Amino acid sequence: MSSKKVFLLVIAISIIGACNYGKNATDSSDTGHVSLKQLCEKYHTDKCPGGHNYLGVYELFFNPFRNVAKKVAEIGIAQGASLNLWKDYFPQATVYGIDIFDNSNLDTERIKTFIGDQSKRENLQGFITKYGSDFDFILDDGGHSMEQQQVSFGFLFKHVKHSGYYIIEDLQTSIYKGEYGSKPEFGTKPDESNATLTMIRTFINTRFINSVYLTNEETEYLNKTIEYCSVFSTNNNSITCIIKKKDS
């Protein structure tokens, strides 16, 4: 290639680079190429690197359906950082949030909040009655107690669509001798027999769910419809679990 052609090629590459420069997470008009971690520049959820650091794992699972997801839900809203992150990442989806506190100030065309206690089935039924079923995923980042995590999982898994996901975050509250496990608000027994992580590990080893918080009907449904559970421990002593529903 002549030196003139090389020069023109370098100029062209520089122009393309300059056009893309600045197209980062703060450009909300086009987020189709932006990763979950990049969205942390804009939305400071504790799932980001520096916090629990779950987003690298979620990118692997969520990226294949980011442009087709229609309904995603999260228990635990706080200031709404993660609801906004999902809204940008899934351009076709409506994002639903459940929290014990009123967060209706966050409601928009594509974000819908609901007041409810995740440990009360009647509250969860109220959410489903209002917004319907068939979620691409439901993620639990609520109160993190054993009862809250397992009641929500048992009740809501049937409202995840086939091939969808249910995610339970912050399973470190299951570890009694860990930083959080002995805090009374999480209700973890010293022998961890009621712990959510124990329930998941038992399923991985036996393919049967065993939980004192679930009804027989819920247990039977989970045993029939879970395809797999994957547990991820991040470099920040945080543990999340991704549970896949069978495709039929």
Ligand X SMILES: C[S@@+](CC[C@H](N)C(=O)[O-])C[C@H]1O[C@@H](n2cnc3c(N)ncnc32)[C@H](O)[C@@H]1O
76 binds ligand X (CB under 6 A): yes
CB of 120 to ligand X, least distance (A): 8
Question: Considering all CA atoms of the chain, what is the largest pairwise distance in Å, rounded to the nearest integer?
Answer: 76
* Paired strand residues for 160: 135
CB-based burial, 198-223: b 16+ in 10 Å, e otherwise = bbbbebeeeeebebebbeeebbebbe
Interaction of residue 218 with ligand X, rule CB under 6 A: no
CA dihedral (35, 41, 43, 46) positive or negative: positive
78 binds ligand X (CB under 6 A): yes
Closest to ligand X by CB, 40 or 226: 40
The smaller minimum CB distance to ligand X, of residues 142 and 181, is found at 142
Catalytic residues: 144
Distance CA 233, CA 238 (A): 6
CA 39 to chain centre: 15
H or E element that contains 23 = none
Among positions 120-159, residues that touch ligand X (CB under 6 A) are 141-143, 148
State yes or no: residue 77 binds ligand X (CB under 6 A): yes
Question: In terms of CB distance, is 82 or 173 closer to ligand X?
Answer: 82
Q: Does 117 contact ligand X by CB under 6 A?
A: yes
Give burial (CB, 10 Å; 0-12/13-18/19+) of 44: middle
Q: Does 99 participate in binding ligand X (rule CB under 6 A)?
A: yes
> Please, which of residues 12-41 interact with ligand X by CB under 6 A?
none
The sign of the dihedral angle between the CA atoms of 75, 217, 132, 241 is: positive
The span of 18-26, 44-52, 172-180, 202-210 binding ligand X (CB under 6 A) equals 44-52
Q: Between residues 77 and 226, which has the closer beta carbon with respect to ligand X? A: 77
How near is the Cβ of 1 to ligand X at its closest, in Å? 51
Question: What token pair was written down for 138?
Answer: 């439901």
Binding residues among 188-217 for ligand X as defined by CB under 6 A: none
As measured in angstroms, the least distance from the Cβ of 165 to ligand X is 16
> Other C-beta atoms within 10 Å of 185: how many?
11
Contacting residues toward ligand X, per CB under 6 A? 45-47, 74-78, 81-82, 98-101, 117-119, 141-143, 148
